Amino acid sequence: MNEASTETRSVVVEREIPHPPEKIWRALTEPHLIEAWLMKNDFALAMDHRFTLSADWGSVECRVLEIEPNKTLSYSWGGLGLESIVTWTLTPTGTGTHLRMEQTGFRPDQPQAYHGAKAGWPRFFANLEQVLARTE
């Protein structure tokens, strides 16, 4: 019976974005661009770098776990009892990039965090697309 309690859920958002991976990568990794679509931050593109994302509702403690330039970025995302991992995957397409974000690690006893992420990430993606549209 205990195994069920260790199962976690994931939130996945995928979009086809009409910009090259390199441009999207910059928006995912440059602090002033991250702030424009996600949150204030002290991000640095370095393995094991610890950074904080902060918003008016609170903050998220993160650590860079994986970097594959223009392809994969992964970092831990912890706060309010949540221990999760966010992984971005960029795949070039004929018209731009297939961008996939997966946040894993939502426990069954964290419905608020899970539903918050399910509601929040599509909004962040919309913001990201707006930032990309006005960034050279």
Residue carrying the six token digits 């902060």: 54
**Nearest in space to 135 (alpha carbons), one of 18, 23, 9:** 23
What is the DSSP annotation of 67-86?
EETTTEEEEEEEETTEEEEE
- For each of the domains in the chain, give its residue range(s) and CATH number, in order of start: 11-133 (3.30.530.20)
Give the tokens for residue 123: 């909004």
What's the CA gap between 99 and 25, in Å, rounded?
10
Question: Which 3 state secondary structure label does DSSP give 88?
Answer: strand
Q: What is the pTM of this model?
A: 0.93
pLDDT in tens, 1-54: 444 457 899 999 999 999 999 999 999 999 999 999 999 999 999 999 999 999
- For residue 81, what pLDDT is reported? 87
**For 102-112, what is the mean pLDDT?**
95
- For residue 136, what pLDDT is reported? 79
